[in-house]
Amino acid sequence: MDKWLWAARFFKTRGLAADACEIGRIESNGHRAKAARDVRVGDRLRVTSEGGVFEIEVLLLSEVRGPAAVAQTLYRESAESKAQREKVAEERKMMLMAGGVAEGRPSKRDRRQINKLRGRIIPFR
């Protein structure tokens, strides 16, 4: 499983793919997949990575990492999955434009406002 995920370019290294399997971010046909599991043509995978949640069907098998154009032929992503990822990306973009989420670490002022909203402010007495 980890080798195929790496070859299909969902993860930069096999180690990251194996870690994703270990913590449950990879599902195969509705079940959590282990890194050593064999991938078969026709398997339905749900891959949660930095790029979002991908719901895909395995079309071809590969154990070698090739160009991105070849990697994209190894699977077919469902239309619902594409639409959902695009929606999430658009919402993230709108939040950045509206100033709701700042890039990078929060400033001291931002952190105080976050703590105040969460009810964690302990006033000095």
Q: What are phi and psi of 35, to 5 degrees?
A: -65, -30
pLDDT at 92: 79
Architecture of domain 1-77: Roll (3.10)
DSSP class of residue 101 equals: S
pLDDT computed for residue 52 by the predictor: 83
pLDDT for the residue numbered 28: 93
pLDDT single digits (tens) 44-87: 999 988 878 899 999 999 989 999 999 999 999 999 999 988 98
Determine the Cα–Cα distance for residues 57 and 42; give it in Å rounded to an integer: 6
Q: What is the pLDDT of residue 2?
A: 93
pLDDT at 97 over 70: yes
Token pair of 1 as six digits: 């499983």
Which regions of the chain carry the CATH code 3.10.290.10?
1-77
pLDDT for 40 beyond 90: yes
- This prediction has a pTM of 0.72
What pLDDT score was predicted for residue 100? 60
pLDDT at 104: 77
